[in-house]
């Protein structure tokens, strides 16, 4: 089986710090290779993979301002489809743009939909519904207007996350500094509970950061450490008594949720989007609806067994499980193609 894996080019694959889509692509690619599948990864030139790397764009455009995003996205996407005949299947992780090529090649295309950035992109998915095989990353993110071959939750490499049975007493916010992610709400919760809060993540909305985050920063109560790489991520997630995730949008998945639990850290999240698929209320975290409810229930964190958080990830969210489910999808699609050709 020869797979062309199309990664985004905003960041390196795998990312040095931020880049959730690129992170999933990297993990999936390397585990497919471990399963004996021939994978060519189409990603930035500085990417690292156990598969065969093919690159047009030298670096991620979020890391090199000289790279014009649309120009290099165009060159990157067209490259995989111009070489489509070399592969049994193309796996798209690059949102909706590559779908417009799908009818121009004979090679089957599967697309993992990493959430809908806007309802405005749905017409593209609707046009190629049936031509492209769609995979959802959560039941919550499935559109009733589309057909899907499967829902496959993301998985992580459990070996990258150390279980920490005895954390510190502070809280952690780990994600984009953006209204959607609820950074301001995390600060409100932590201050009301009189717990130290560490913030980690890229600043995606500068105005929001200046107005709702920066005024509260100090060296003792609310500390911002910036965007961090894998080693520091592992330490931060493991040392927190809980991860605050007060999202204000219907999040399609949330890698930080399962990464925290892999370290034994329970999660307090607003019950939106896929959160109820990742968190069992009272078992490995708390599902709440408001800031006040989070404040009222935060004391329950001490009753959650951190070992059960780790086991939850080991049972449900490993990269090995994710890879095997994708292999099943590939085999189903290719079997259907053989049947149509016979």
pLDDT value at 72 more than 80: yes
Residues 6+ away with beta carbon under 8 Å from 16: 63, 229
Same domain, 85 and 193: no
Is the predicted pLDDT of residue 22 greater than 90, yes or no? yes
- What is the pLDDT at residue 341? 82
* Residue 118 pLDDT: 84
**What's the total number of domains in the chain?**
2
Phi, psi dihedral angles at 285 (to 5 degrees): 170, -170
Report the length, in residues, of the chain: 342
171 with 113, same domain?
no
Contact 323, 35 (CB under 8 A): yes
Residue 219, pLDDT > 90, answer no
Do 114 and 178 fall within a single domain?
A: no
- The owner of tokens 């219907």 is 250
H or E segment to which residue 222 belongs: strand 222-224
What is the maximal distance between C-alpha atoms in the chain? 69
Nearest to 267 by CA among 282, 285, 289: 285
Residues 250-279: tens digit of each pLDDT? 999 999 999 999 999 999 999 999 999 999
| Statement to judge: residues 187 and 259 lie in one domain | yes
Are 74 and 133 found together in one domain?
A: yes
Q: Measure the CA angle with vertex 242, ends 113 and 275; round to 5°.
A: 30
- Model pLDDT for residues 38-62, shown as the tens digit of each residue: 999 999 999 999 999 999 999 999 9
If you average pLDDT over every residue of the chain, what do you get?
96
Q: Note whether 43 and 134 are same-domain residues.
A: yes
pLDDT category of residue 90 using cuts at 50, 70 and 90: very high
Q: What is the CATH number of the domain that holds 298?
A: 3.40.50.2000
State whether 68 and 194 are in the same domain: no
User: Are 238 and 164 spatial neighbours (Cβ–Cβ below 8 Å)?
Assistant: yes
| Domain boundaries, position 83 | 2-155+318-341
Specify whether 85 is located in the same domain as 100.
yes
| Residues whose CB falls within 8 Å of the CB of residue 327, separated by 6 or more in sequence, listed in order | 32, 35, 37
Are 165 and 290 members of one domain? yes
- 145 and 205 in a single domain? The answer is no
Q: Over 90: is that where the pLDDT of 25 sits?
A: yes
Q: Are residues 288 and 142 in the same domain?
A: no
Q: Are residues 25 and 93 in the same domain?
A: yes
Whether residue 216 is predicted with pLDDT greater than 80 in this model: the reply is yes
pLDDT of residue 159 exceeding 80, the answer is: yes
pTM, entire model:
0.94
């Amino acid at each position: 089986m020869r797979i062309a894996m199309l990664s985004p080019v905003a960041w390196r694959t795998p990312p040095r710090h931020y880049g959730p889509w690129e992170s999933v692509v990297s993990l999936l690619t390397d585990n497919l290779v471990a399963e004996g599948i021939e994978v060519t990864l189409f990603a930035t030139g500085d990417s690292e993979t156990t598969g065969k790397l093919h690159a047009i764009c030298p670096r991620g455009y979020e890391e090199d301002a000289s790279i014009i995003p649309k120009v290099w996205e165009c060159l990157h996407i067209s490259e995989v489809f111009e070489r489509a005949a070399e592969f049994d299947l193309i796996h798209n992780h690059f949102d909706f743009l590559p779908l417009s090529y799908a009818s121009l090649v004979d090679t089957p295309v599967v697309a993992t939909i990493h959430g809908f950035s806007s309802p405005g992109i749905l017409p593209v998915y609707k046009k190629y519904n049936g031509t492209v095989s769609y995979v959802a990353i959560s039941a919550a993110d499935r559109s009733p207007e589309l057909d899907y071959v499967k829902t496959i939750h993301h998985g992580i490499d459990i070996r990258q996350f150390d279980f920490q049975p005895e954390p510190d007493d502070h809280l952690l916010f780990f994600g984009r500094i953006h209204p959607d992610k609820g950074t301001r709400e995390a600060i409100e919760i932590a201050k009301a509970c009189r717990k130290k809060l560490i913030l980690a993540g890229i600043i995606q909305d500068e105005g929001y950061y200046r107005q709702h985050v920066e005024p509260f920063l100090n060296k003792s109560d609310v500390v911002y450490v910036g965007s961090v790489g894998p080693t520091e991520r592992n330490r931060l997630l493991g040392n927190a008594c809980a991860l605050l995730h007060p999202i204000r949008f219907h999040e399609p998945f949330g890698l930080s949720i399962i990464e925290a639990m892999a370290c034994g850290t329970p999660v307090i999240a607003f019950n939106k989007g896929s959160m109820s698929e990742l968190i069992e209320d009272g078992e490995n975290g708390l599902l709440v609806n408001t800031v006040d409810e989070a404040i009222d229930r935060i004391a329950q964190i001490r009753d959650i067994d951190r070992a059960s958080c780790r086991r939850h990830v080991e049972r449900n969210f490993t990269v090995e499980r994710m890879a095997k489910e994708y292999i099943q999808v590939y085999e189903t699609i290719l079997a259907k193609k053989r049947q149509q050709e016979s």
